[in-house]
Structure 1
Amino acid sequence: MCVEGVQAQETSYFRVERAHAACLRENALRYSAIEPIVIDLSLCPNLTASTDLSEASMNSFVPSLPVEGSTTKIDRYVAYTPAQLVCLSKLSIDTTSETIQLPKDPKC
């Protein structure tokens, strides 16, 4: 099992809700069949929506949305390569907080 260490760089992580992190990790291998992969976490585990979104936004950015009542931005969309999703599926993710940091470039 891979364990990703916490880094201080803000840009090296996606900030996502706990339920979205769990859904993405549980379905990472299913998502890895799509390339390029842009995932709308609010629709997880819907693969069809992610396929459509990936095709429509190949050269687009991945936006963050502010959380109501918070200064922390939550990423609604994440983008990974198939290899990164395989590594993400093996990560041990700390789910004790409401906001989870997922590495943008997970390593195995």
Structure 2
Amino acid sequence: MFSKLKLPKNTNKMGETPIMNEKNVFPEILNKHMTPKGKWAQIVVINGNLKYIHDDEPEKILVADKNHSIVIEPERYHHVILDGNVEFKVEFYKVPENLENFDDKASRPGENFL
């Protein structure tokens, strides 16, 4: 299952992790964590694939590959599962402060999953 969630409009890229793989992945990514308020993230897979799980919906396992990135909402617990060879990075974005409370319906569909 792939995610349909898109980054909100007007986000600004703040940075990104180095390219990681199954051997050098930051351990925090594999455990329950969340992005802070007002910050979004996007998992970009370069080779292979990985699984992404929202901890409040563990039965919905999303897959990311080079054609399907995963956008991560602020303040929602999640973790990643690696089960093979993969290369990926995580990009970080911020919504400008004057837009943080703006609910962009076009960027946040009511149903985030296929």
- For this structure pair, what is the TM-score category when the shorter chain's length is used for normalisation? under 0.3
User: Which structure shows the higher strand fraction?
Assistant: 2
Greater C-alpha Rg: 2
- TM normalised by structure 1 equals 0.27
- TM normalised by structure 2 equals 0.26
User: Which structure shows the higher helix fraction?
Assistant: 1
